[in-house]
Amino acid sequence: MPPASLLPNAMKRLSTASPGFEAEFTALLHQSRDTTDKVDAAVAAIIADVRARGDAALLDYTERFDRTRPAHLRVTTSEIDAAVAEVPPALHAALDLAATRIEAFHRAQMPADITVPDPAGLRLGMRWTALDAVGIYVPGGKAAYPSSVLMNALPARVAGVGRVAMCVPTPDGVLNPLVLAAARRAGVTEVYRVGGAQAVAALAYGTASIAPVDRIVGPGNAYVAEAKRQVFGRVGIDSIAGPSEVVVIADAANDPRHVAVDLLAQAEHDESAQSILITDDAAFADAVAAAVLAELPTLPRHAIAGASWQAHGAILLVRDMAEAAALSDRLAPEHLQLMVRDPEALFARIRHAGAVFLGACCPEALGDYVAGPNHVLPTGRTARFASGLSVFDFLKRTTWVSADAAALARVGPAAVALAEAEGLQAHGRSVALRLTTQPPSPSA
């Protein structure tokens, strides 16, 4: 039996046929899922301390938060060797399969440089180059995610980043073997046993042991997220990630248990995660709700999943799939599963989602590990304007222009006129002088 607190009507149930639907849906859209206290002042103090005291601060915070004071912050090659040797062959094979698929998908994203034909005779173009150095934050302790190592490190490697440094906390001095095996498979050899806001500060500003990087990526707790926010501008970041979320659009042809487990797969992340079912069949909605409650007690993380479902779960009953698509776009979910007869046709109507999974045989969990596209995705409705992690996060664009005297003569007078209209006389003069003076030939 499910816990008494997990009643069938605990989660929200809305219907577009209800007169009060719009108000109820708007409340769902704006529901706060942030359960953490404000940590900005504490994080600012940690960052300032690391900037002032460097490695000494890192060691003090590691002793305070992880209950260990390592002799050296960097994980040695021999330590990585020993940890990797502990990983069973079957898990090595799984990591390799996932890594191979992730590499292949991100390699296909690599853009080409462009040169644009110009009728005025100028040469115009854009060149892509990789960042010099990237820092990857990997959660440690109870939340150890080797899949996150692969998803963050491999796109950087594919993009051509020269240096990838990884920070991972080691509570009580324990290294996670699978995390280090994933790092090795991803080609990361620079690993530091430091976590929290202090790790982000070290990656952004540098210490004696940890050289600074140009961009910091990877998930973390509220302190890590706030630290990334505060160092942004000094370095680039991927995003400020919020709690995980999924929307499942499903018709009655599906197995209710499959849908229920897909909803719980997100709910088990943490109590602030959100799982929403959108369906056009009331009886199917009932069956899924019952299946969720039947499945919950069998999960090791049933308390977390149950709290998430009770506080943030929802079932939306719609008249048709056109309404389902419109509501999904307003939710702009991190993950979207389309479990309908023609998922491609429904997908064509949807604009806003971090990642979409088409068909009854393609659960979102596949994308977390082995599908190939990145699982670092926009949360909290930010898919309206943001995208998931990709090689583009580790590349930058440089435009270039080349002009000879003839090309300058064709477009230069317009530049002079615009500069003078803006009151920037030196701008106009820098062009005008070249219109009246023949430049020396390259061989002179």
Buried b vs exposed e over 307-342: b needs ≥16 C-beta within 10 Å? bbbbbbbbbbbbeebebbbebbbebbbbbbbbbbee
Considering the candidates 106, 302, 312, 335, report the single residue annotated as catalytic.
335
Distance in Å from the first CA to the final CA of the chain: 90
DSSP β-ladder status, 190-192 and 163-167: parallel
Give the Cα separation of 260 and 295 in Å (integer): 8
What burial letters (b/e) apply to 108-136, b meaning 16+ CB within 10 Å? eeeeeeeeeebeeebeeeeebebbebbbb
β-bridge partners, 190 = 165
72 is written with which tokens?
A: 């050296």
Active-site residue 334, yes or no?
yes
Question: Phi first, then psi: what are they for 9, rounded to 5°?
Answer: -100, 15
What's 337's DSSP letter? Answer: E
Q: Which residue in 245, 268, 334, 364 is the catalytic one?
A: 334
**Strand residues in 54-203 grouped as ranges (E):** 114-116, 123-130, 133-137, 163-167, 190-192
Measured CA distances, 274 to 43, 66, 142, 271 (Å): 27, 30, 21, 8
Give the active site residues.
334-335
